[in-house]
Amino acid sequence: MFKKINKKIDCINDKLQTSNIYELGYILGSKKEIIKRNLLAGIFRGVGIGIGVTLITAIIIAFLQRIVKLNIPVISEYIVDIVEIVENNKRY
């Protein structure tokens, strides 16, 4: 029973090693492919970070503006200052 399991595991292991070696050889063999993949990954990562930061900032500003409407004395004044700073810096 263990011999059959060992044979199956060895067979699966051989198949995995051959496929990984083939894929690794393909990737390492083509420097243009490596550059293309890394360039696209960097572009998409940068765009994703930009969109994410923009959305999170917009949500935070909207949340802070709603808190200001509640007219809590100390917090509202502080938040108004923050929102004004952000609004002024948006113009540049």
Question: What digits encode the pLDDT tens for the residues 14-47?
Answer: 777 777 666 676 667 777 888 888 899 999 999 9
Number of domains in the chain: 1
Rounded CA gap, 44 and 42, in Å? 6
Mean pLDDT for the stretch of residues 68-84: 79
E strands, the chain, in order: none
Rounded CA gap, 80 and 17, in Å? 61
Domain extent for 61: 2-90
Instruction: Please tell me the pTM assigned to this model.
Output: 0.50
Which amino acid is it at 51? I
Encoding tokens for residue 82?
């923050």
Rounded CA gap, 77 and 83, in Å? 10
Handedness of CA 17, 18, 19, 23 (dihedral sign): positive
Per-residue pLDDT, 9: 85
Rounded CA gap, 81 and 89, in Å? 12
